[in-house]
Chain A
Amino acid sequence: MDNDTIDQIIDRHEGRAGSLIHVLMEIQSKNHWIPREALAKVSQKLGVPFTRVMQIATFYKTFSLTPQGHHEVHVCTGTSCHIRGSQRVLDKIQSLLGIRAGETDSNSKFSLAKGNCLGCCTLGPEIVVDGRHYARMTPEKAEEVLKKYN
């Protein structure tokens, strides 16, 4: 992801203050996070005060203002998955990636997050990588899954 792509997204919505959330979502999905310079540019091009952009960008959990990895790994720690051993899956993934939940590894490859129920309790313990669900995880299977993204 480079600045040109961000510029293109912003230019497409130039002058339309109402598109603020759309622009932010587009940058977020393409770039995985929104740099402060991008927020400043959005504010300038869309004609929305910077404080307002900051308020909205920090309000929604969708937007990340810190660098995120290319692959987003979510581990379900909801009740059902917890009972089926999601903690061991999480421990394994944490030691494989060398990061804890909520962190991003140093070469921006993976971000790890916990979620309290990712929606498929019958298939637990589950993990979600880049929106794709992997069911009935064990520490060994989780390792196999992560290898695919390496």
Chain B
Amino acid sequence: MSEILLQIDGKAVKAKQGMTVLDAARSADIAIPTLCHHEQLEPYGGCRLCTVEIETRGRKRLVAGCLYPVEPDLIVRTRTEKIDSIRKMILELLLAHAPDSPQLQDLAREYRADRDRFEKEASFCVLCGLCIRYCAEIKKKYAVGFINNGARREINFIPEIAAGECWNCKECFPLCPTSYLQAAYHLTEALAFPSLSSRSASKRLVTTTTL
């Protein structure tokens, strides 16, 4: 594999062919914030928090760091005034949907994003797609997916698949930045296949009473 030399925030960084700007930056301990990125999953480019400025042949451009492949002599800037204001705006918009997400609040502190800037429209889901992509790419179960489009887009568990697969897995739960996923799952479960949870609940009840 050929080595590619590029510059990130003024620092010379060596990267391999096929790496993204985000990979290269992380290998050099340069932090780029992400929300929808997961190391085991294909890059998605959904949240745009990893937006960075690149410069090639004297021209500047904004790209998503998690998708953009490294190229020789690329100059990358990860913290400029413009980038910070973009990230601040993205965070403020996401906070209108999920105001209590710890991950968003941490980033909001760093970028001085005001969680009350936009009117609350609490859908609690930021549509990062982590649960959906994890279920599809790693587990290959396809138990959860997007439905509808535009402003009405949301995640949706398929009861027929979820009833058989999710109870013993739930590996997507810790991935969710807002914990809306858990709520969506439990709602589907309660509506479509309540037997499992009620059975284990009654079992718990029995064990506690016998103790």
Residues of A within 8 A of B (CB): 40, 49-52, 54-55, 58-60
Closest chain A residue, CB of each to CB of B153: A59
Contact B161 A55 (CB under 8 A): no
B120 CB to closest chain A CB (Å) equals 26
| CB < 8 Å neighbour of B158 from A51, A59, A60 | A51
Contact A58 B148 (CB under 8 A): yes
**B145: chain A residues within 8 A (beta carbon):** 49, 51-52, 54-55
Check B147 for interface membership: any CB of A closer than 8 A.
yes
| CB < 8 Å neighbour of A49 from B136, B147, B149, B156 | B136
Check B36 for interface membership: any CB of A closer than 8 A.
no
User: How far, in whole Å, are A60 and B184 apart by their CA atoms in the complex?
Assistant: 23
User: How far, in whole Å, are A17 and B139 apart by their CA atoms in the complex?
Assistant: 20
Closest chain A residue, CB of each to CB of B156: A54
Interchain residue pairs with CB less than 8 A apart (9): A51-B142, A51-B143, A51-B144, A52-B142, A54-B145, A54-B156, A55-B146, A55-B147, A58-B147
Residue among B142, B144, B156, B160 facing the most chain A CB atoms (10 A cut-off): B142
Residue among A49, A51, A59, A60 facing the most chain B CB atoms (10 A cut-off): A51
B129 CB to closest chain A CB (Å) equals 11
Closest chain A residue, CB of each to CB of B135: A51
Check B132 for interface membership: any CB of A closer than 8 A.
yes
B100 CB to closest chain A CB (Å) equals 27
User: How far, in whole Å, are A59 and B156 apart by their CA atoms in the complex?
Assistant: 13
**A55: chain B residues within 8 A (beta carbon):** 145-147
User: How far, in whole Å, are A54 and B144 apart by their CA atoms in the complex?
Assistant: 10
Inter-chain pairs besides A49-B136, A50-B142, A58-B149, 6 sampled, C-beta below 8 Å: A40-B160, A51-B144, A54-B145, A55-B146, A55-B147, A58-B147
Within 8 A of A (CB), among B125-170: 132, 136, 142-149, 156, 158, 160-161
Contact B161 A59 (CB under 8 A): no
Given contacts A51-B132, A51-B136, contact A59 B149 (CB under 8 A): yes
User: How far, in whole Å, are A60 and B147 apart by their CA atoms in the complex?
Assistant: 10
User: How far, in whole Å, are A40 and B161 apart by their CA atoms in the complex?
Assistant: 12
Contact A50 B148 (CB under 8 A): no
User: How far, in whole Å, are A59 and B144 apart by their CA atoms in the complex?
Assistant: 15
Contact A50 B161 (CB under 8 A): yes
**A51: chain B residues within 8 A (beta carbon):** 132, 136, 142-145, 156, 158, 161
User: How far, in whole Å, are A12 and B115 apart by their CA atoms in the complex?
Assistant: 53
**B143: chain A residues within 8 A (beta carbon):** 51
**B161: chain A residues within 8 A (beta carbon):** 50-51
Closest chain A residue, CB of each to CB of B146: A55
User: How far, in whole Å, are A14 and B99 apart by their CA atoms in the complex?
Assistant: 46
**A49: chain B residues within 8 A (beta carbon):** 136, 142, 145
User: How far, in whole Å, are A54 and B143 apart by their CA atoms in the complex?
Assistant: 11
**A59: chain B residues within 8 A (beta carbon):** 147-149
Contact B149 A54 (CB under 8 A): no
User: How far, in whole Å, are A84 and B131 apart by their CA atoms in the complex?
Assistant: 50
The 9 closest A-B pairs by CB, nearest first: A51-B145, A49-B142, A58-B147, A51-B142, A59-B149, A55-B146, A58-B148, A55-B145, A50-B158
